[in-house]
């Protein structure tokens, strides 16, 4: 095997077995946080757009295009995509992807506290179960065991 072939083969192997360093973890958490924030902003904007479309007799897409919260939500969501791409270049997908479960808790919390939506005990319990699964996956993954 040539040096070039060896580096091509060893890079994916090295990436899969790499531990997550602090800077990669921070970018991963930023990506998840921005995605959750983007969703909340989009929900707020689309709620306003739906109300405006009824009030002024416009179509929902027309109202959404003119709503600044929708645009800010899309921008934040786009930034989260960039942070996610950066994360994927440094963190194994089987470690990074379960962190998206944290977004459930952020969105649930924001929907209740910021958007004043109702959440029942089953929603909270289910979200906690998802996060418990995240903890199991991340702490028990082979890349964290010696």
How does pLDDT run across 81-102, given as a tens digit for each residue? Answer: 999 999 999 998 888 888 888 8
- Give the DSSP per-residue string, 12-58: HHHHHHPPPPHHHHHHHHHHHHHHHHHHHHHHHHHHHHHHHHHHHT-
- Please choose, from the candidates 1, 16, 8, the residue with its C-alpha nearest in 3D space to the C-alpha of residue 142: 16
Sequence ranges of the domains in the chain: 3-144
Q: Could you tell me the maximum CA-CA distance found in the chain, to the nearest angstrom? A: 69
- Provide the pLDDT for residue 118: 93
- What's the pLDDT tens digit per position in 31-74? 999 999 999 999 999 999 999 999 999 999 999 999 999 999 99
- What's the pLDDT tens digit per position in 102-126? 888 899 999 999 999 999 999 989 8
Indicate whether this model's pTM tops 0.85: no
Classify residue 71 as exposed, middle or buried by CB count within 10 Å of its CB (0-12, 13-18, 19+): middle
Q: At what angle do helices 22-56 and 68-88 cross, to 10 degrees?
A: 160
The yes-or-no verdict on residue 75 having pLDDT over 90 is yes
């Amino acid at each position: 095997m040539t040096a070039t072939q060896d580096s091509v083969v060893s890079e994916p192997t090295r990436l899969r077995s790499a531990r997550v360093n602090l800077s990669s973890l921070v970018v991963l958490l930023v990506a998840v946080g921005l995605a959750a924030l983007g969703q909340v902003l989009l929900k707020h904007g689309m709620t306003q757009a739906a109300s405006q479309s009824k009030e002024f007799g416009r179509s929902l897409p027309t109202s959404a295009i003119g709503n600044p919260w929708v645009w800010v939500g899309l921008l934040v969501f786009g930034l989260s995509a960039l942070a996610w791409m950066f994360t994927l270049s440094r963190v194994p997908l089987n470690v990074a992807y379960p962190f998206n479960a944290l977004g459930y808790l952020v969105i649930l919390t924001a929907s209740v506290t910021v958007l004043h939506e109702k959440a029942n005990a089953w929603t909270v319990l289910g979200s906690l179960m998802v996060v418990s699964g995240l903890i199991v996956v991340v702490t028990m993954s082979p890349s964290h065991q010696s």
